[in-house]
Structure 1
Amino acid sequence: MKKKILITIGSIIAVLVLGIGGYAAYLYHYVQKTADKMYEPVAEEDQSAAKQREENLSNKKPISILLLGVDEREGDVGRSDTLMVMTVNPKTEKMQIVSIPRDTKTEIIGEGKTTKINAAYAYGGVKMALDTVENFTNIDINYYAQVNMEALSDLVDAVGGITVNNELDWIDEGYYKKGYHYEEGNIQLDGPKALGYVRMRHLDPNGDFGRNERQRKVLTAIIDKAASISSVSKFDDILNVLGSNVKTNMTFDEMMDIQKNYRGARNNIEQYEVTGTGDTSTGTYYLVVSDEEKQKVHDMLADNLEQ
């Protein structure tokens, strides 16, 4: 099912810029300052990679982006609980989002071991996560956007709460508050409730797949709500949350180029989630992805990166 959603941080910023109305002059400058605060190049990146990105945008070539939703809690280095690879083709005006379950068993590039793909970030940060996902998908990834999942709570509150269509009736075991009832149907969520909603996994018969779908729903609801906001104080709150909890190697100018030249792809979105077979033979659960599935994912992504 097609959904008009915006997942990249660049698109979030662009939506805010487009929706600011009479506050344009003031907030455009504020948005630029926020984007500068979020900017963080990939460690040890070759300068040729940055030049290649600039060339891609100048010539309106397809681009690829890795979205990392990182669960960073006190005393823990964090793991990438959400991994999505996005490709955007401005010529065909098609956006593609491929979700990789966090339990996917794969080689961790730079660490010399095979384990769950979400461990790559814990071992080597963004650089190792990028290298590992590039190896898994066999495509080059141009950009990354890392979001602290704890910030989802603040972001939901900053937009004044959200509404999502909950397809699974369940009683919370402590993700938000033990005993809280997430009823089936349209439900209202404040920040803490939204964080509990996306973190729940073991009560969902679809496991990570169901969890990833709930994350997409919350992100979509946040952005839809943000796009309709006209209060300057609300924009201040939203930008403060983004500036403190998002890191990306997109510059402000690159964000604006993407918004200007690639936005047509937002109306033609294809979503896919990597599939595999559950394996607990070692005492730890892994999602084992076949070579055939990996090839399918590669072909899918590579096809949308064709010029």
Structure 2
Amino acid sequence: MKLYQKIIIAILGVIAVVVTSVTVWATFAYKDANATFNAISKKIERATSPKREKAISYEDRDPITIALLGLDTGGLGRTEQGRSDTMMIVTLNPRQKKTTVVSIDRDIYTKIVGYDTYDKLNHAYAFGGVKMSLNSIEYLLDVPIDHYIAINFTGLSDLIDAVGGITVDNKIDFTLDGVHVPKGKHHLNGESGLAYARMRYEDTEGDIGRQRRQREVVTKIVNKVIGLDGVTKYKKILKAVEDNCSTNLSWDQLMDISKNYVPALDNIKSYQLSGIEPDWMSDVYYQVVGKHRLLNIQNLIKSELGLPTRSELPISDGYSDGYIEKQLYDDEDEPLVDDDTAKKSSTESSSDSSEQTTDEVYDSNGYQEDGSDYQVEAQNIATNE
């Protein structure tokens, strides 16, 4: 099972794992799960997207989109609003038995809808919470965002404790905010596991190293949640979910998705939307997206949703539909390649080289390492991150 499939199943199915338990306490587990989900279900004052011409029918298995937001707030003493540092748009299409996952770079320069400015996409959450974040993502991709599920980094700590900790092989001895994580193989509790996932500046790879460790931590949590540990410790897991997650999915909608949308997980492809040409504006680092790359990602999601595609973006010398000169650059119109295909291609092309630079390796736990080149943010903008 691939990493993205595990993450999706864990997020949408953690409660279903409990509900479908065949043990004698299954009835009580169902009630606990229902109560937890009612607690995290939050209605946001956000009108149905004008990009949705008709209401979704879950019974008819209409394709839907779900935004997965990882919030950088509340962890290791942080109490401010924070930012949505992890953003993935999941498109579930059970009719065609397909799921598409688009990971969006947090530093993409785009319009912040409702704030009358252009900035990093992840700043939308800091300015206006979930509503502004979803509206800005929807604007960038030109597709409806139907639902969201958000978890903050404190939730990682609580979830690690709930599943009984995780074991990692730490490559760097470091101390972060008073939490020391020594080099070597160690079993980490929630506090040290969160530090392991958040540390950046001691890592020579900067943010890419941090992202790798975050994927590792999430993968190890997921392995326990969907395994026996998830069943035996379901109350602690539900408590961690209740304290650190929010969603606009209702319990009935979740049950409908669990019942009708499982075929969509038969074929999962993941893609990346990031700026190929990084830019500096007023001494701040941004990712500037290629116009063809953005258009192709938009059309990919629209095709999955059964929505009309378009042949070009509405761009002019000035403002047009929100696009401005510095927001996009004129890249080559290349066909989209999913992550697995790109990994395979890069592996084959580097097989004769003694030094791999773009290969990805999966260990027995499904942890994905990515050694691809990445623009590491300079120290002098650390305060903006």
Whether these two folds match at TM > 0.5 is yes
Mapping 1:13-32, distance limit 5 Å: 13-19=15-21, 21-32=23-34
Q: Is 1:140 matched with 2:141? A: no
Q: 1:142 to 1:20 in 2, by over 3 A?
A: farther
Q: Residue 76 of structure 1 aligns with which residue? A: 80
Q: Is 1:128 matched with 2:129? A: no
Q: Secondary structure at the match of 1:56?
A: coil
Q: Is 1:218 matched with 2:217? A: yes
Q: CA deviation at 1:201?
A: 3.6
Mapping 1:5-154, distance limit 5 Å: 5-7=6-8, 9-19=11-21, 21-46=23-48, 55-73=56-74, 74-154=78-158
Q: CA deviation at 1:94?
A: 1.9
Mapping 1:115-194, distance limit 5 Å: 115-163=119-167, 169-172=171-174, 174=176, 177-178=179-180, 180-181=182-183, 183=184, 188-194=187-193
Q: Is 1:266 matched with 2:272? A: no
Mapping 1:218-297, distance limit 5 Å: 218-229=217-228, 234-276=233-275, 277-297=277-297
CA distance in 1, matches of 2:256, 2:79: 38
Q: Secondary structure at the match of 2:119?
A: strand
Q: CA deviation at 1:303?
A: 2.7
Conserved? CA contact 2:49–2:144, under 8 Å? no
CA distance in 2, matches of 1:65, 1:13: 17
Larger Rg: 2
Q: CA deviation at 1:215?
A: 3.0
Q: 1:86 to 1:282 in 2, by over 3 A?
A: same
Q: 1:195 to 1:290 in 2, by over 3 A?
A: same
Which one-letter code corresponds to 2:179 in the other structure? K
Q: Residue 196 of structure 1 aligns with which residue? A: 195
Conserved? CA contact 2:51–2:144, under 8 Å? no
CA distance in 1, matches of 2:181, 2:46: 47
Q: Higher mean Cα deviation, 8-17 or 81-90? A: 8-17
Which one-letter code corresponds to 1:195 in the other structure? L
CA distance in 1, matches of 2:49, 2:106: 30
Conserved? CA contact 1:19–1:229, under 8 Å? no
Conserved? CA contact 1:64–1:141, under 8 Å? yes
Which one-letter code corresponds to 1:143 in the other structure? H
Which one-letter code corresponds to 1:258 in the other structure? I
Q: CA deviation at 1:240?
A: 1.0
Conserved? CA contact 1:67–1:85, under 8 Å? yes
CA distance in 1, matches of 2:220, 2:230: 18
CA distance in 2, matches of 1:216, 1:306: 31
Q: CA deviation at 1:57?
A: 1.0
Which one-letter code corresponds to 2:149 in the other structure? A
5+ residue gaps, structure 2, are 308-385
Which one-letter code corresponds to 2:61 in the other structure? K
CA distance in 2, matches of 1:9, 1:104: 25
What do the CA deviations read for 1:111-170 (whole angstroms, capped 9, x no partner)? 011111111011111110000000111110110111121111110110112346x6x833
Q: Higher mean Cα deviation, 77-86 or 224-233? A: 224-233
Aligned CA-pair RMSD:
2.9
Q: Secondary structure at the match of 2:24?
A: helix
Conserved? CA contact 1:2–1:270, under 8 Å? no
Q: Secondary structure at the match of 1:58?
A: coil
CA distance in 1, matches of 2:2, 2:62: 23
Q: Residue 316 of structure 2 aligns with which residue? A: none
Which one-letter code corresponds to 1:62 in the other structure? P
- Percent identity of equivalent pairs: 36
Q: Which has the higher contact order (CA 8 A, sep 6+)?
A: 1
What do the CA deviations read for 1:33-78 (whole angstroms, capped 9, x no partner)? 001001101214349999955x331210111001111122344122
Q: Flag the structure with higher helix content.
A: 1
The size of the alignment, in residue pairs, is: 301
Q: CA deviation at 1:24?
A: 0.9
Q: CA deviation at 1:281?
A: 4.5
Q: 1:231 to 1:104 in 2, by over 3 A?
A: closer
CA distance in 1, matches of 2:49, 2:304: 25
Which one-letter code corresponds to 1:222 in the other structure? I
Q: CA deviation at 1:226?
A: 1.6
CA distance in 2, matches of 1:43, 1:217: 35
CA distance in 2, matches of 1:49, 1:15: 33
CA distance in 2, matches of 1:49, 1:102: 23
What do the CA deviations read for 1:9-28 (whole angstroms, capped 9, x no partner)? 33222233234633211110
Which one-letter code corresponds to 2:305 in the other structure? L
CA distance in 1, matches of 2:270, 2:90: 9
